[in-house]
């Protein structure tokens, strides 16, 4: 006989992975954008402007991961616990 928590374990693990992925990409994107701004302000505009691109890509992936994977999985887990 399985417990309800044991049935939810794979979904909770998947939710954790999506949440940590979203958090990691968001922090990486913010750090890269900060580097871009500081580099631009300290007199190296080409590197600063170039660094904006990977920062935006990280933030875009974080947004897409949060909206396409994390939130639907969170809703599914909430519905399963009711």
- pLDDT, one tens digit per residue, over 8-23 is 888 999 999 999 999 9
User: What does the CA dihedral 20, 22, 24, 28 come to, rounded to 10 degrees?
Assistant: 180
Query: Above 80 in pLDDT, residue 3?
Result: no
Span 55-61, average pLDDT: 97
Average pLDDT in the chain: 92
Separation of alpha carbons 68 and 5, rounded Å: 24
**CB 34 within 8 Å of CB 15:** no
Residue among 70, 71, 60 nearest 25 (CA)? 60
* pLDDT, tens digit, 9 for 90 and up, residues 71-80: 999 998 888 8
Instruction: Note the pTM of the prediction, 2 decimals.
Output: 0.85
More confident residue, 49 or 81: 49
Express as a percent the part of the chain with pLDDT over 90.
78
Separation of alpha carbons 66 and 51, rounded Å: 23
Q: CB count, 10 Å around CB of 60?
A: 12
Domain map of the chain by residue range? 14-81
**CB 69 within 8 Å of CB 18:** yes
């Amino acid at each position: 006989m399985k417990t309800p928590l044991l049935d939810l374990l794979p979904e909770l693990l998947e939710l954790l992975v999506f949440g940590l992925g979203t958090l990691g990409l968001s922090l990486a994107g913010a750090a890269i954008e900060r580097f871009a701004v500081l580099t631009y302000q300290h007199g190296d505009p080409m590197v600063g402007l170039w660094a904006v691109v990977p920062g935006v890509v990280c933030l875009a992936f974080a947004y897409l991961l949060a909206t396409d994977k994390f939130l639907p999985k969170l809703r599914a887990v909430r519905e399963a616990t009711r």
